[in-house]
Structure 1
């Protein structure tokens, strides 16, 4: 299948994709935190979600983090965090409440660099809201437990079902490849020390194997 293209998803593919989506989306209720870390990606809806949570009073400031990846360069040529920052400012978040981290190229760097930026700013952090894509919540949580274990974390994302989310992004191939790749990282990264282990039910592993065999392998890591 051609990368970065709209693709026709069969009902069998959609069924497996919903299993993976439901597993990755932790569904935690937002709660008040000292700061939000907004994880850059191809999805500008993450920034929209962060602005909404800020306006609702869940945190007083946010770090927006992310440089570019091959899947975001065309969408955000000046960098994920730069475009995200512009978007949250357009949505009414004051500039004084936004810290910019524009060097991270993976989730581990997102968290490490954000943590360092907050420390340099003299901001004490006891709790963090990780704002990300819905299907990235579990990996963000598992990564934070390794890299920032002393803080209380909660994950937040746009309230959307799988089928509705596809329409908001407009690139089914990109969503499917990235979602499958994120699940692979949840399963394999603990052995590399990047994430804490997560229980992965058999039905989720079966759905993952089905989707990889169906060709949604554009975001997989190699051994």
Structure 2
């Protein structure tokens, strides 16, 4: 049975959702990095940004992952690439990184793919799921400090997003897992540290107490 969110759960989830998004201005960049995940809509959004001339070349990154192998059996990058091609992005504008298993891999391995293709970006548009923006940015700043990253995700509110990717409780679980990583990964040198507003931390704590913990790190 799908777990129902209370009114307080929804209110707290909205705060966490807003925290994860950076609202960067979209300006042309040297290249784009499309981060894999369970949301195939990221690929079509990346295609839209390509057609808006925001970058000339992209890496789609993501390997086979136990969390997504049922929907992307050939690996996240392969399926994302197919969607980008179907949306009119030319094959020569898409580089494939098929091995990443986490956000750090997305950054490090994609940098290698760019270099092998002779592409050395000075600015990079990180295209990801809405609740992954902040972690992608922090990871890129740590793992690829030479590049200037900006983040982009589909402009959608949480209530509409869960209709396409849901169930809602699982989306909240994933948001909580990402927020925990935003806070803990700097001490592991996986990402840069970022300020966490008190309201966001309070909302996160209430959701953890309510049991939205399936995507949290295990000690």
Q: What TM-score comes out, normalization by structure 2 length?
A: 0.97
Matched, 1:107 2:93: no
What is the match of residue 91 of structure 1? 87
Q: Following superposition, which runs of at least 4 residues in structure 1 exceed 6 angstroms of deviation?
A: none
* Structure-2 separation of matches of 1:158 and 1:18: 16
What is the match of residue 75 of structure 1? 71
What is the match of residue 179 of structure 1? 175
SS in 2 for 1:154: strand
Structure 2 unaligned segments of length 5 or more: list them.
none
What is the match of residue 124 of structure 1? 120
* Structure-2 separation of matches of 1:44 and 1:73: 13
Mark the CA change 1:70 to 1:212 in structure 2 (over 3 Å): closer, same or farther: farther
Q: 2:47 aligns with which of 44, 51, 71?
A: 51
Structure 1 unaligned segments of length 5 or more: list them.
none
* Structure-2 separation of matches of 1:77 and 1:215: 30
Matched, 1:158 2:154: yes
State the 1:171 CA deviation. 2.4
Matches within 5 A, 1:61-72: 61-72=57-68
* Structure-1 separation of matches of 2:67 and 2:41: 16
State the 1:201 CA deviation. 1.2
- Equivalent residues of 1:6, 1:170 under 8 A apart: no
Matched, 1:28 2:28: no
SS in 2 for 1:130: strand
State the 1:147 CA deviation. 0.7
Post-superposition Cα deviations, 1:134-154, rounded to whole Å, max 9, x if no partner, equal 111111110011011111110
Aligned-residue Cα RMSD (Å) equals 1.1
Q: Across the two proteins, how many residue pairs are aligned to each other?
A: 219
